[in-house]
Structure 1
Amino acid sequence: MLLEDAEQIITGALFGAALTTSGVFLPSIILEQFDLKNFYMLQVFATAVGSSALVMLALEKLGFVQRPVKPNAPLGSRWTYGSNLVGGAMVGTGMALTGACLGTVLVQLAQGIPSARPTALGALLGGMAYCHVSPKILPRLRPQATDIVKRTIPQAGIHEGIVYAILGIMTAGLLLTSQIWLPATGPWSSVGGLAIGGSQAVSLLLTSAPLGVSTAYEDAGRYILQTFHIDRNPKPSKIPKAIVIAAAISASSVALGKAAVGDNFSHAQPHISVWQALIGGFIMVFGARLGGGCTSGHGLSGVSALSMSSLVTLAGIFGAGILVRLLMQATLRM
């Protein structure tokens, strides 16, 4: 039991350290990505996905783990990936409102970002709401167990070797061009992405599971509902793994301190109102659980495993995030 807890703590601590030192947790980085003004977040993300995919392929070929393909989340009997798309769009909307995702908000809390507290509170309320209503809505959204499948991108007709080649070329290209297009941050996008990919390797080897954060908010929400006897199910005998990892992410960032972020990311952060952060956090968690994962579970781990459901979810995240930011800017100009 103690060994299992230690493995979860190590996994979360390394992931938190990678998110902190890369600077990708900052609201300005996330919002400027959706504004299409700064592609640092995309570079870190692409490098992380590329290295994580290589890790998964190597560990699978060596017989250590089986590739963790994410199942789809149907919407009714006709929309095979409907909830992936809708849930992803909700996550993207929440990110555009808060300047955070469900993993980075834990680091924002540790680093004292003002909008992190209302975002985290909204996320916790979203986890509680999902726990309360999911037993009623999920049977309607996913009427048949046979609708749940684990399908990879190669199974859609694209050869696996071609998919891995595209990921490799994309990652290598970003590694080579990061210093040219982002002279202010230099090689940090490459280093940060590789560090996150290394965290993925540790997670798979120690916990036999890929990186993911959104489950922690659902588990924490269920704890609160059980405390107030709204959820009648008995409390688990030990703290769920997702909550241990989430706590370790924040704790490692606290231990590293503000100095770990460095001068490369010292520019001012945008003002995000309390209500905007609260609503965004709520939408983000509810969407993540509806679609079966967030930017970590689907965007990093799922895409690295070549999961078709994760590709659809990722499209929903970035598509909605960019659209919401465009609408917000248009409203401000009126």
Structure 2
Amino acid sequence: SRGMSDQGALQPLIKRSMASTQNPKEGAELRTESPTEAGHKPADSATAFMAEPAAAAPAKKEAGIEPWKGISAVEMFWTLFSGLWFGFALQKAGVGNADVIRDQFTFKQNTMLVMFLSASATSLLAIAAMKTASESSKQAAEKAGKKYMSSATQGLFAVGIGGCLIGAGMAVAGTCPGTIWAQLGAGQPKALITFAGALVGAAIIALIHCYIVPFLKTIAPKSRTLASVTGLHPMVAALILLAIFAAVIIVVLVVPGAYKPLPGAADVFGYPYWHPIVGGVMVGLTQIPLTLGVGKNLGASTSFSVIVSNAFQLVGFNNDYTRPLIGGTSWWNVLFVVFATGGAALSALSGNSWYAYDAMAVTEVEAFFGGILLLLGARLASGCTSGHGITGVGHGSLISIVGVAGIFAGGMVVAFPAYNN
């Protein structure tokens, strides 16, 4: 009788074990949660570094083989449209040129600043407009905002350090995680080297992430929005940011010598480049189709982590950091930037600027190590210039403002002594 009682007590445990074996994904979820921009919490144990047991591999490999799985035809259409639009705008604004980005940090050329602030301001307005246009668009915008806030879980210290690394990488390589794809589309061969370096940076973070979780949580803010920190109404906080952005743009355009237009960009729709305000507005408007059509936020650096995570899976390695990025809808991030590459190619070909700036003053070594710095920083900060500077600022995120400040600080610290000649 006692033996039968013990056997009955063991039945729930046996059933749970069998369910975990039959459903590897469910078993993985029982064991741990995962840190991604989808909002998973990071693991707190070094055991996350170890690969999953062999039983989990088949389901994950199958998901990696079908990168489109879970992405509807409608979402694919809006991803295509948004990617083409985003890449076209980046290249037309001239920020796909390495020397333009590098010279921004020494303030020799403020094209990037004008474009960036225009994009951030437009993102703010676009998100505010979606929240007031209709109930459905309001729900979509609020859902996107919650998704962004839940993914940006890093502490202020990690975001600041990560931002500085992004800025340093931008100064060294003359690009950022988003404009790497625009440079590839515009036919710049050195962008391939930066791309390789970025993959290395993403791989390093994937391998060491479980060991740096305590660092990532250092100085975690109690409030994560500018409005909640200041006690202002969200609309008032947004208006203050808009006023600051507008004031800086006006100063840059009015002060003699502060803005030096690229060839053809003196006019609004110049040839081969457009005015950076036009390009920035176009970039900021990308938020609308992404939010309403796909339910996503604008960002570029996650795409590198998705590629690396699926590559690791092919050789039988995964951990708590890479596992949520394997297969399925995570490939949306890659599809978006691939389409952005196509948009940049269309812009370059239509403006006769294909292969331009290949003789830029960025060496192969700078391109590679700059790429590593970019992704090390972007993954530490949980966002890049697009994610923090455009999406995060658009949603009034406090850590995004810290991240952007870090980007400019890191870029200036590197650029002034190394490239101010």
CA 157–221 in structure 1, closer or farther in 2 if over 3 Å, else same:
same
**Identity of matched residues, %:** 26
Asked if 2 retains the 8 angstrom alpha-carbon contact of 1:121 and 1:278, the reply is yes
Code of the residue aligned with 1:151 in structure 2: it is R
Asked if 2 retains the 8 angstrom alpha-carbon contact of 1:222 and 1:231, the reply is yes
CA 150–294 in structure 1, closer or farther in 2 if over 3 Å, else same:
farther
> Which structure 1 segments of 5+ residues have no match?
75-79
In structure 2, what is the Cα distance between the partners aligned to 1:212 and 1:37? 27
Pairing 1:220–2:307 present: yes
Asked if 1 retains the 8 angstrom alpha-carbon contact of 2:99 and 2:361, the reply is no
Code of the residue aligned with 1:135 in structure 2: it is C
CA 39–70 in structure 1, closer or farther in 2 if over 3 Å, else same:
farther
Code of the residue aligned with 2:230 in structure 1: it is G
Q: SS state of the match for residue 316, structure 2?
A: coil
* Segment drifting more, 168-177 vs 158-167: 168-177
In structure 2, what is the Cα distance between the partners aligned to 1:169 and 1:237? 41
Cα deviation for residue 167 of structure 1 reads 3.2
Q: 1:304-323 to 2 correspondence within 5 Å?
A: 304-323=394-413
Pairing 1:151–2:242 present: no
Q: SS state of the match for residue 161, structure 2?
A: helix
Pairing 1:18–2:89 present: yes
Pairing 1:193–2:280 present: yes
Code of the residue aligned with 2:238 in structure 1: it is Y
Asked if 2 retains the 8 angstrom alpha-carbon contact of 1:150 and 1:307, the reply is no
In structure 2, what is the Cα distance between the partners aligned to 1:291 and 1:277? 21
* Segment drifting more, 226-235 vs 270-279: 226-235
In structure 2, what is the Cα distance between the partners aligned to 1:47 and 1:87? 23
Code of the residue aligned with 2:198 in structure 1: it is A
In structure 2, what is the Cα distance between the partners aligned to 1:318 and 1:176? 18
In structure 2, what is the Cα distance between the partners aligned to 1:171 and 1:131? 35
In structure 2, what is the Cα distance between the partners aligned to 1:182 and 1:277? 25
> Which structure 2 segments of 5+ residues have no match?
1-71, 269-274
> Residue deviations 1:104-131, cap 9 Å, x none?
0101011122321110000011112212
Cα deviation for residue 73 of structure 1 reads 4.4
Asked if 2 retains the 8 angstrom alpha-carbon contact of 1:128 and 1:224, the reply is no
Code of the residue aligned with 1:213 in structure 2: it is A
TM-score (norm 2): 0.70
Counterpart of 1:88? 163
CA 59–175 in structure 1, closer or farther in 2 if over 3 Å, else same:
farther
Which of the residues 249, 258, 264 maps onto 2:340? 249
Cα deviation for residue 209 of structure 1 reads 2.0
Code of the residue aligned with 1:322 in structure 2: it is M
Which of the residues 171, 179, 186 maps onto 1:111? 186
Asked if 1 retains the 8 angstrom alpha-carbon contact of 2:300 and 2:337, the reply is yes
Q: SS state of the match for residue 240, structure 1?
A: helix
TM-score (norm 1): 0.87
Give the total of aligned pairs: 323
In structure 2, what is the Cα distance between the partners aligned to 1:101 and 1:254? 17
Q: 1:1-334 to 2 correspondence within 5 Å?
A: 1-62=72-133, 63=135, 64=137, 65-66=141-142, 68=145, 69-70=148-149, 72-74=152-154, 80-138=155-213, 141-142=216-217, 147=220, 151-157=224-230, 159=232, 160-173=234-247, 174=249, 178=253, 181-182=259-260, 185-186=265-266, 187=268, 188-231=275-318, 233=323, 235-237=326-328, 240-260=331-351, 270-329=360-419
In structure 2, what is the Cα distance between the partners aligned to 1:300 and 1:248? 19
* Segment drifting more, 254-263 vs 184-193: 254-263
Whose relative contact order is higher, 1 or 2, with alpha carbons under 8 Å and at least 6 apart? 1
* Segment drifting more, 307-316 vs 201-210: 201-210
CA 7–288 in structure 1, closer or farther in 2 if over 3 Å, else same:
same
Counterpart of 1:77? none
Asked if 2 retains the 8 angstrom alpha-carbon contact of 1:98 and 1:115, the reply is no
Code of the residue aligned with 1:30 in structure 2: it is I
CA 302–239 in structure 1, closer or farther in 2 if over 3 Å, else same:
closer
